[in-house]
Chain A
């Protein structure tokens, strides 16, 4: 399987150094995640060859793109690059922009132009010029253009960040469809956890120019969920076990626990990801059989963090690791301590994929 190997040390404009030695999978969506200034964009630009580095190693699918000082020019690297702003050529129509890539496409099994146009829903836009298109439409053309060059690696630098929420929701389904079909590795830079949990298979977390964590979503879920300590959350991988149409619910198997989810469209056996916010988890000492809350799982207190606006409790639950945010008064009332056995009540959770 083709793979991306990177070793570099580069000063960043934020004052940190981007220093990493990392391997990324040769297939699927890899999310590169981190706060602004952590070097995400610089890393992507380095891979494309747009960011020069005096000495580094970059090997993609067994071929050196940079080895020490020897560096392959940008136009000789089989990459597709989607910038944060669509950056279409203003003097060419949408079709002209696509043709620019089609004419220069890398040899090999190229994606069918018509398939790509259909996948991204851009058929009716081709005659327009960039200034006549909306931001979301422009970005879809830019994604198609980057794919039509028939790259070996697709690099996407926060392709949704410049769009408003509604337009983001327009494009996300296209990206999800793409994630399911594409055979080449995609490096997807983002600082949005929701995009990450919807799209990425593997996550590289950058912090101040270093790799803080790397692995599959469930492996780095902990670090990811705590990336904003004010609003921590947990990501729980699960599988649909049974549908209950008369209640408009499905039950999912999540680690050792069975949880209920308000969704009737899912089929048994579908893998899903659940996102649980800390503020949606409350604690009780006994399992209330008389509660209207559906999801109550046994848990053990692992750790406690005093925060300004309450107590953040880290739990090992039967459904997996969970965060709970409770008031200081409740913490005192429950006499919380490490190793304590109790029950976590999950008031709501979101299905991210």
Chain B
């Protein structure tokens, strides 16, 4: 049943659809990797600091949750454009301008999906508390060892959640993509934009196939995520009382 659907779907996808899917997967994987690298130190700092900067930084990280994607896209266009600071920097480096390129999309998606990675990491890191780290310190573990031998293993499920959410949210973006990526085949035309194109062109069958694929993908991802967190809490409940 499932294989038959997949086969029919694959046959139903046009060359353009396939390249949009491939581009989306490439973008989402790259963005997830970058976000785990950037998000981990941010989440760690937020969970440990007592500085007054914690509030402002947390608010900035969470901004994409509430702002319309068009606003983010607009500001990114401005700063990455020929007169913006990032634009001038990339021009000076000889890379050229980022808007309407794949790398522009990467930068935009990193900003847009940041809270979806930082939030689960921050929650997991705060939940550890200070005690395991104090124990590790009295057992001669320096700051890096404490992070790799205590924080990472204790936050495993937080990292998994963060990666899944970051990936899925990047796959699902549309507004930011349209603002800073445009609609260039093989460069910036992602699945969400491709669906938009199909609908514009009254290509409803094609739109159906791609939309259904997105629907199934999102459902499977969320199902996996929730069953994952559910198993974790039953393990916790098995703990014997003292």
| Chain B residues whose C-beta falls within 8 Å of the C-beta of A100 in the assembled complex | 136, 139, 141, 149
| Chain B residues whose C-beta falls within 8 Å of the C-beta of A91 in the assembled complex | 153-154
| Chain B residues whose C-beta falls within 8 Å of the C-beta of A89 in the assembled complex | 132, 135-136, 150
User: Is the interface on chain B under 10, 10 to 19, 20 to 34, or 35 or more residues?
Assistant: 10 to 19
Query: A13 within 8 Å of B by Cβ?
Result: no
B26 to chain A minimum Cβ distance, whole angstroms, is: 34
A289 to chain B minimum Cβ distance, whole angstroms, is: 53
Q: In the complex, how many residues of chain A place their beta carbon closer than 8 angstroms to a beta carbon of chain B?
A: 30
**Pairwise interchain contact A87-B131, C-beta atoms closer than 8 A:** yes
B141 to chain A minimum Cβ distance, whole angstroms, is: 6
**Pairwise interchain contact B139-A149, C-beta atoms closer than 8 A:** yes
If the complex has contacts A81-B135, A87-B131, are A104 and B140 also in contact, measured as CB distance less than 8 A?
Answer: yes
Residue-by-residue, is A76-116 near B (CB-CB < 8 Å gives 1, otherwise 0)? 01011101010101110000000011001110000000000
Question: How distant is the Cα of A193 from the Cα of B15 in the complex, in angstroms?
Answer: 82
Q: Which residue of A lies closest to B143 (CB)?
A: A75
Query: A304 within 8 Å of B by Cβ?
Result: no
**Pairwise interchain contact B238-A131, C-beta atoms closer than 8 A:** yes
Q: Which among B131, B134, B154 is the interface contact of A74 at CB below 8 angstroms?
A: B134
Question: How distant is the Cα of A85 from the Cα of B132 in the complex, in angstroms?
Answer: 11
Query: B200 within 8 Å of A by Cβ?
Result: no
**Pairwise interchain contact A134-B242, C-beta atoms closer than 8 A:** yes
Question: How distant is the Cα of A48 from the Cα of B153 in the complex, in angstroms?
Answer: 25
| Chain B residues whose C-beta falls within 8 Å of the C-beta of A177 in the assembled complex | none
Query: B96 within 8 Å of A by Cβ?
Result: no
| Chain B residues whose C-beta falls within 8 Å of the C-beta of A161 in the assembled complex | none
Specify which of A75, A104, A106 lies most central, judged by the most chain B CB atoms within 10 Å of its CB.
Answer: A75
Q: Which residue of B lies closest to A142 (CB)?
A: B135
Q: Which residue of B lies closest to A105 (CB)?
A: B140
| Chain B residues whose C-beta falls within 8 Å of the C-beta of A83 in the assembled complex | 131, 134-135
Query: A135 within 8 Å of B by Cβ?
Result: yes
Residue-by-residue, is B122-166 near A (CB-CB < 8 Å gives 1, otherwise 0)? 000000000110111111111000000110011000000000000
Residue-by-residue, is B228-242 near A (CB-CB < 8 Å gives 1, otherwise 0)? 000000000011101
Question: How distant is the Cα of A109 from the Cα of B238 in the complex, in angstroms?
Answer: 41
Q: Is the interface of B mostly helix, strand, loop or mixed?
A: helix
**Pairwise interchain contact A145-B131, C-beta atoms closer than 8 A:** no
**Pairwise interchain contact B154-A104, C-beta atoms closer than 8 A:** no
Tally of A-B Cβ pairs under 8 angstroms? 63
Question: How distant is the Cα of A250 from the Cα of B155 in the complex, in angstroms?
Answer: 60
Q: Which among B141, B150, B153, B240 is the interface contact of A104 at CB below 8 angstroms?
A: B141
Question: How distant is the Cα of A135 from the Cα of B239 in the complex, in angstroms?
Answer: 12
Question: How distant is the Cα of A160 from the Cα of B138 in the complex, in angstroms?
Answer: 20
Question: How distant is the Cα of A74 from the Cα of B154 in the complex, in angstroms?
Answer: 21
Q: Which residue of B lies closest to A102 (CB)?
A: B139
**Pairwise interchain contact B138-A79, C-beta atoms closer than 8 A:** yes
Query: A50 within 8 Å of B by Cβ?
Result: yes
Q: Which among A81, A85, A105, A135 is the interface contact of B138 at CB below 8 angstroms?
A: A81
Q: Which residue of B lies closest to A145 (CB)?
A: B139
Question: How distant is the Cα of A174 from the Cα of B11 in the complex, in angstroms?
Answer: 73
Question: How distant is the Cα of A8 from the Cα of B35 in the complex, in angstroms?
Answer: 45
Specify which of B134, B136, B154 lies most central, judged by the most chain A CB atoms within 10 Å of its CB.
Answer: B134
Question: How distant is the Cα of A91 from the Cα of B151 in the complex, in angstroms?
Answer: 10
Specify which of A81, A85, A100, A146 lies most central, judged by the most chain B CB atoms within 10 Å of its CB.
Answer: A100
**Pairwise interchain contact A131-B239, C-beta atoms closer than 8 A:** yes
Query: A22 within 8 Å of B by Cβ?
Result: no
Question: How distant is the Cα of A122 from the Cα of B141 in the complex, in angstroms?
Answer: 24
Query: A338 within 8 Å of B by Cβ?
Result: no
A89 to chain B minimum Cβ distance, whole angstroms, is: 6
**Pairwise interchain contact A75-B154, C-beta atoms closer than 8 A:** no
Residue-by-residue, is A41-54 near B (CB-CB < 8 Å gives 1, otherwise 0)? 00000001110000
**Pairwise interchain contact B140-A149, C-beta atoms closer than 8 A:** yes
**Pairwise interchain contact A90-B154, C-beta atoms closer than 8 A:** yes
Q: Which residue of B lies closest to A49 (CB)?
A: B137
If the complex has contacts A89-B132, A131-B239, A131-B240, are A75 and B153 also in contact, measured as CB distance less than 8 A?
Answer: no
If the complex has contacts A89-B150, A90-B154, are A75 and B141 also in contact, measured as CB distance less than 8 A?
Answer: yes
A169 to chain B minimum Cβ distance, whole angstroms, is: 16
| Chain A residues whose C-beta falls within 8 Å of the C-beta of B153 in the assembled complex | 91
Q: Which among A75, A106, A134 is the interface contact of B142 at CB below 8 angstroms?
A: A75
Q: Which among A50, A85, A101, A146 is the interface contact of B137 at CB below 8 angstroms?
A: A50
| Chain A residues whose C-beta falls within 8 Å of the C-beta of B140 in the assembled complex | 75, 104-106, 149
| Chain A residues whose C-beta falls within 8 Å of the C-beta of B240 in the assembled complex | 131-132, 134
| Chain A residues whose C-beta falls within 8 Å of the C-beta of B135 in the assembled complex | 81, 83, 87, 89
Question: How distant is the Cα of A73 from the Cα of B135 in the complex, in angstroms?
Answer: 13
Can you list 28 A-B contacts with CB-CB less than 8 angstroms, sorted by A residue number? A48-B138, A49-B137, A50-B134, A50-B138, A73-B142, A75-B136, A75-B138, A75-B139, A75-B141, A77-B138, A79-B138, A80-B138, A81-B134, A83-B134, A87-B132, A87-B135, A89-B135, A89-B136, A100-B136, A100-B139, A100-B149, A104-B139, A105-B140, A106-B140, A135-B242, A146-B138, A162-B242, A163-B242
Q: Which residues of A contact B (CB under 8 A)?
A: 48-50, 73-75, 77, 79-81, 83, 85, 87, 89-91, 100-101, 104-106, 131-132, 134-135, 145-146, 149, 162-163
Given A48-B138, A104-B139, A163-B242, 4 more A-B residue pairs with CB atoms under 8 Å apart are A50-B137, A75-B140, A83-B135, A100-B149
| Across the A-B interface, the 10 shortest Cβ-Cβ residue pairs | A74-B137, A81-B138, A135-B242, A104-B140, A91-B153, A131-B239, A75-B137, A87-B135, A75-B140, A75-B142
